A and B are shown apart, each in its own frame.
Chain A
Amino acid sequence: MSDNTSTPIEMRLSEVPGMPSPEMELTYVTAIPMNGSTFSQNQECRVGLNVPTDCFVDLKRAYMKFKINNTGAAPIFLDPLIGGAAVIDNWRVIGGTGALLEEVIHYNTFYAAMNANKNTDVVSTIHHLYEGASKRPGKAEKVETGTADLTGVGLTSITNAESRVITHRPQSAFFNADRYMPLGYTQGLTYISMTLAQNVTAFLTNSGTDAATYTISEVELHLPILKPGPEFGSMFRSAMSSGVPIQIHSVGVQNTQQAIPASTTGENTLTFSTRKRSVKSLVNALRLNTAITSSLANSVSGFVNCDISEMNFSVGGMRIPAQRIKVNTDANGKDAGELLANQQLALGHYSSDLRGICSIDARHNADPVETYLITDEKTSKEGGKALFSLDLESYNAAFAGKNLAGQGLPLVFHAQTGSKGIQNQATGAVLCDLYVIHDVVYVLDGMTGVISANS
């Protein structure tokens, strides 16, 4: 009679651990830009992924380095949540035959949305040392007119004519795929194309010293290269040429934008475009338009809430959730938890107690300040950390998202804005960056060596 027992791992004493096969030799390659070495605002920086023939690249372990040079007349201060990564306005990965493999418009804001959902300690230590994020990242920064004194508030400063080196791990689908990328088997040279943010967007400066200009130089991309033995290389090549499709899954993000006009109170209906086949979640980041183009304001990570009191989305014509998500910034009746719960669900952080959010400032003080939802932002003119998000996955698995490809009206954001929101003033138009998090499959056609993205 068989019973239903098994030996726990701790007692499997006779098992010999297997050796991974095929054998791989790990080396590192440093890729540098192909189109110059010093780049300024609005310019494109292209970095080719120089992977040797027949090699794989472990992009999850890759990182980028570049030096930010303050070429203006005054000190500049790096973004509180993402530091020098704020210079990356758009992020694209382009295949060797010209196919667009990934495109994240307003990459810096997406990265800021991700960092806002990390523990304050992670941002103020690791990201401070990597990218130059603030040592007090939970502090709310102004999204209008600016602050006279930025020196003493923990922001990383670069004095004029001085520099700082930024280390950055790309928040990118192509760099976070679940397999080693067979770029040594593809046609042409796959490259990264970064368009750099405007001078006024990339940094903060003190009130009255709106003179930020910058360049980046010494751009490097460190790539771990895995070289298989010749037998595996030829076997993989013959498998490819026999028509076996090589497919690599990852999770990408697509940006679409809309605007809440200035001086609006009441119901807002914003139609967004997306045609992705498996949409996992939606993350909507609201920023004051004039803040984006002012170096006196927190341009990239100053998220505003427009005093929204309730919101939901129409996805393919259906309201989700049917009962709207309620928000209240006032002290009397404060309601921030439901919004945060949906934000954590959308980012897959909900079931983890280890995930904090970067929204507490001055913890050492007797009364620490909470900066997730800013009360009366029209008066205080401060940006918070709240995002308007929605989870759409049926399972926590690949391709378990919503198919928006065939929907007539894919996505509408419905929100009830209030009178205390920052939009309720003459120059208060608010840009909504909706990041659609979706599944993507990179397909390498074995016959031609062409890599393309399907999503």
Chain B
Amino acid sequence: MKAIQNYYYLYINSDDNADANVNCKNINFNLSSILQSAPNKQFIEDQAYCYVKLSYFAMDLPPDATAIGTTTTIQVRLGGTIFPNTFETSPPTADNNNLVSSNILGVIPTGREDATDFNSLYLYSNQYYDNTYVVMGNPFKGQLNIQLTDQDGTILADTLTNNKSYNMKLEIYFPEDEQFIFNNNKNLIN
């Protein structure tokens, strides 16, 4: 059984961002203050990686063409951290491979069915939260940048984000896996 204390839950309100930015498309949080709160901080602060799941996302966007337009998907992308196991496709060009490393934490369908029909119930496609765990760098090490982009990876237009807010809940799990050296803070040899 996984130890219960290795799970952390983080509720993020975009209004609380570190720069007091009212446009939520590209905001920063300083999450290093976990130190004062977590009981077994000594264990988590040295971890290089963890598993993170976007378990809830809500944004005050009216389900209509005026607000959502042609955006079918909102991607939550993080800056300042790494996703060793996450990849995405990109158009193969002289500059880039068809497969590139990605910084997508989770994706949220906007409920757009066609130009006039939108799912009016949820910003999510259904009430079951369908994002799964991704491996990412430990977010509790400092400044975390969160960007919202559309399905093509282009940052959302101000019409969707300015003076708007979102809330998300993250589930963070720090595994103890002997096969993988997560802890770089072992005893000094000798």
Residues of A within 8 A of B (CB): 35-38, 41-44, 46, 89-90, 92, 94-95, 97-101, 103, 105-106, 193, 195, 198, 217, 245, 247, 255-259, 271-278, 289-290, 292-293, 399, 405, 427, 429, 431, 433, 439, 441, 443, 450, 452-455
Contact = CB atoms under 8 A, between A and B. Distances in A.
A198 B145 contact: yes
A100 B143 CA distance: 19
Contact of A98 (B41, B181, B187): B181
A87 to B, nearest CB: 12
Given A38-B96, A195-B79, A277-B188, A290 B19 contact: yes
B184 A452 contact: yes
A43 B21 CA distance: 22
Interface stretch (B29-37, B66-74, B118-126): B29-37
A455 B184 contact: yes
Contacts of A276: 185
6 contacts: A42-B103, A90-B82, A193-B82, A245-B189, A247-B189, A273-B35
Nearest to A103: B48
A193 B147 CA distance: 21
A275 B40 CA distance: 13
B23 to A, nearest CB: 12
Nearest to A407: B42
Contacts of A198: 26, 79, 145
Contacts of A106: 142-143
B18 interface: yes
B128 interface: no
Contacts of B184: 99-101, 103, 452-455
User: Lowest 4 CB-CB distances: which A-B pairs, in order?
Assistant: A42-B79, A99-B181, A257-B142, A100-B48
B130 interface: no
Given A44-B82, A271-B36, A275-B46, A454 B189 contact: yes
A293 B145 CA distance: 10
B18 A42 contact: no
A277 B189 CA distance: 11
Given A195-B81, A258-B33, A275 B141 contact: no
Given A42-B147, A198-B145, A255-B142, A98 B101 contact: no
Contacts of A105: 80, 141-143
B151 to A, nearest CB: 18
Contacts of A452: 181, 184, 186
Interface in B46-76: 46, 48-49
A81 B139 CA distance: 28
Given A36-B96, A289-B30, 9 more contacts: A38-B96, A92-B82, A100-B49, A255-B142, A257-B141, A273-B41, A275-B45, A289-B19, A454-B186
B97 interface: yes
Contacts of A247: 189-190
Interface in B83-98: 83-84, 90, 94-97
B142 A256 contact: yes
A455 B20 contact: no
A275 B19 contact: no
A202 to B, nearest CB: 12
A255 B48 CA distance: 13
B39 to A, nearest CB: 13
Nearest to B142: A257
B190 to A, nearest CB: 8
A271 B35 contact: yes
Nearest to A256: B32
A390 to B, nearest CB: 19
Nearest to A405: B185
A245 B189 CA distance: 9
A275 B145 CA distance: 25
A330 B97 CA distance: 56
B173 to A, nearest CB: 17
Contacts of B96: 36-38
Given A44-B103, A452-B184, A259 B28 contact: no
Nearest to B94: A37
Contacts of B35: 256, 271-273
Contacts of A433: 142
B80 A42 contact: yes
Contacts of A277: 185, 187-188
B164 interface: no
A98 B19 contact: no
